[in-house]
Amino acid sequence: MDYLKEWPLDSASKAVDISEGWGSCGLYLGKARQAKVSLIQSISGAEPFLQLHSSINKIAIDYKDSTPENISEDLLKTTDYIVAAGTCDKISKVDTLFALFQKAMASGVKQILVSDPGEAAFDLLCDLCEHKLPENLGVEIETRTVKLPDSAQPFTGEILIISAD
């Protein structure tokens, strides 16, 4: 969330959150940045939780029970940003996410932001994006450290940022 607080999201943008379960990035963007948000969830039973949070925060969300590989080009063509937190926790997801990122950027998505606490699969995804995405796309990996209020230890993670130049 600390990165999203600093991130200049265009007013009334369309964001797709592909995080599994929590949808916190999308909910934050809907609340703090007035983004139109689609939450793509493959975890059974997530919808009531996400609808409750959207209701409490007075955010309209478009919930889709789906997976990253099933996101349509029609949705991507109307999307400005894709966001995710902790979605690349298994090696088996790397190719699926990379294919989505290729399709998204080819469809006109402006930027993709994926945060992760440092999973090995995420490192592989970052490496693949750095070396295999077209050169006209900007790929950056930013390390972030956040001091949580009730924790003695700071939390460090990384954000993969893919941008259309």
Query: Helix 120-132 crosses helix 94-106 at what angle (to 10 degrees)?
Result: 40
Q: Indicate if the pLDDT at residue 97 is higher than 90.
A: yes
Average pLDDT, the chain: 90
Percentage of the chain exceeding pLDDT 70 = 99
The model's pLDDT over 50-92, given as tens digits with 9 standing for 90+, comes to: 889 899 999 988 988 888 899 999 999 999 999 998 888 888 8
Residues 32 and 9: their CA atoms lie apart, in Å, by: 10
How far, in Å, CA of 40 to CA of 26, rounded?
10
Domains belonging to the chain, first-starting first, are 11-164 (3.40.50.150)
- Give pLDDT tens digits for 12-36: 899 999 987 678 889 989 998 899 9
34 vs 24: CA distance, rounded Å: 14
End-to-end CA distance of the chain: 24
pLDDT confidence of residue 42: 77
The residue type found at 92 is S
For the chain, give the number of residues. 165
The pairing of strands 14-17 and 81-85 is parallel
Q: What is the pTM of this model?
A: 0.91
100-120 average pLDDT score: 95
Percent of the chain with pLDDT over 90: 55
